[in-house]
Amino acid sequence: MNKAAILIVDDAPSNLDVLRTVLSQEGYQTFVASSGERALSLARRVRPDLILLDVVMPGMDGLQTCRQLKGSPGTEHIPVIFMSARNEADDVVAGFDNGAVDYIGKPLRMAEVCARVRARLQFHTHTETQLEQVKRLRKIVDTMAEGLMIVKADGLIDYANPACDTYLGYGAGELAGHSIGDLLQASVAAEYLDYFSHDAAAQGAGHGTREVAVQLRDGAVRDMDLTITPMQMGGAAMFIGLLHDISHRKHYESTLERAALVDPLTRIANRRHFDSFIDMEWQRAIRSSRPLSLIVLDVDHFKLYNDELGHAAGDAALREVAAVLAAHAPRATDLAARYGGEEFVLLFGETDSPAARTMAESIRGAIEALQLPNPMSPCGHWLTASIGVVTIVPGQTDLLTEFFEAADRAMYAAKDAGRNRIVAVHAGSKTWEAVKLMVKL
């Protein structure tokens, strides 16, 4: 372990000799100076752990020397103990006012000097250790990837680390003084402020981690995880808030969720999405007593198309058909989906039978107008489709399965009638009742 270094400053050679001898015997490394100017030079070069400084010296006295030591970044943290025969209260106060940590009266009692030196070095070592710990902790906080802020019980931000500033688009130190309510939605901010006000820090009750929408300085909103932990700081209730940016994760999750609902070939909705959507719209139609129309469409002689032109051409044809369907389902209450193979479905909310029939005829004509050659088709030169249409204002006794099956049967009736046509039915018609009867067989 390195010896503590002590700089002894006194214009009396006898004092220097005695102090140096005694302190060296105590195991300290000693340096001596007989003037304030020499003391400043040595202190800057040696950086001692402690300075014993005589107050009364010719030229630069001890008070002046101490002021210069405390005014220099390299020496300001070195503790100074004054030694002086001036023991009046004003003298002692002046010593402390100029930066001394202790004041020893002359004539010196060596046992007392050694005890005060020992105590001061122990305190200084402990303080230095604490300062080093604080520096290490500060470095960790300043370089951590998560945003960290310290929030007071009134919701005002007392401190934010650089990551927090970067996350939220603020400059260094700009977040301090802002309310946490400036960052969160009003309802969420009110919940946190209520939590702060219930002495949560004293009770040690954390608020856990929750996903919140945080408003950035430019007004944009970003998804983040916020963890609030209470603590006591100087007797006051404070709260540590950790912010973790999850916008990339949310984007990834959203991408996965969308991928799970989209047909990878045609890029329109898949069967899973459609089944969920039709169930929701069916219930909405029951509540509103508004008509719901369903189209089931099958590409005519698609196997012959694939056999003749190849599966790559078949895939391209399905994508073009899907684009036609998507263009005919622009509203939030509409959905076009690939239901399987060459079969597609479209649902139109709040759409009556004449409108649905008109839409189906437009779709049929648009597919034929693509003029995709189908040389093996017995019903024309181009790729075509057979379409079944069903419209209903559903009631509590109606079944969604019968509704879907009726549209499917209508599509097959279009095929049986020669393909490249539509067959439309609506609830209450003779055709509807006949279809329902077939469904039940």
**What is the pLDDT confidence band of residue 206, given thresholds at 50, 70 and 90?**
low
Q: What is the pLDDT of residue 2?
A: 64
Kindly indicate the confidence band of residue 237, based on its pLDDT and cuts at 50, 70 and 90.
confident
**Rounded (to 5) percent helix, strand, coil in the chain:** 45, 25, 30
- How many Å apart are CA 148 and CA 174, to the nearest integer? 14
Final residue before a domain boundary, out of 141, 170, 202:
141
Predicted local distance difference test score (pLDDT) of residue 130: 62
Q: Are residues 213 and 281 in the same domain?
A: no
Write the CA distances from 202 to 180, 206, 233, integer angstroms: 20, 11, 11
Full residue range of the structural domain in which residue 376 is found: 262-440
Q: Cα separations (Å) of 293 from 278, 332, 334, 384, 402?
A: 10, 14, 10, 22, 13
Shared domain check, 180 and 38? no
Last residue of a domain, one of 141, 162, 178: 141
Q: Respond yes or no: is residue 76 known to be catalytic.
A: no
Q: How confident is the model at residue 233 (pLDDT cuts 50, 70, 90)?
A: low
- 236 and 319 in a single domain? The answer is no
Which tokens is 19 given? 């102090």
pLDDT on residue 131: 63
pLDDT band of 172, cuts 50, 70, 90: confident
The total number of structural domains that make up the chain: 3
**Are 360 and 434 contained in the same domain?**
yes
Q: Are residues 281 and 151 in the same domain?
A: no
List, in order, residues 6 or more apart from 177 with CB less than 8 Å away: 156, 157
Question: 403 and 371 in one domain?
Answer: yes
Q: Residue 85: which pLDDT band, with cuts at 50, 70 and 90?
A: confident
Annotated catalytic residue: which of 146, 342, 368, 433? Answer: 342
CATH of the domain at 130: 3.40.50.2300
Q: Is there a single domain that holds both residue 136 and residue 184?
A: no
Task: Name residues whose C-beta falls within 8 Å of residue 145's C-beta, 6 or more positions apart in sequence.
Answer: 163
Residue 230 has pLDDT above 70, yes or no: yes
- 290 and 222 fall within a common domain: no
The tens digit of pLDDT for each residue in 4-41 reads 899 999 999 988 999 999 999 999 999 999 999 999 99
- Tens of pLDDT, residue by residue over 370-418, are 999 988 888 888 999 999 999 999 998 889 999 999 999 999 999 999 9
The answer to whether position 401 is within a domain reads yes
Q: What is the pLDDT of residue 429?
A: 58
As a whole number of angstroms, the distance between CA 116 and CA 23 comes to 12
The strand pair at 334-340 and 236-245 is best described as: unpaired
Q: DSSP state, 269?
A: B
Tell me the C-alpha distance between 90 and 3, whole Å. 35
Q: What CATH number should be reported for the domain holding residue 381?
A: 3.30.70.270
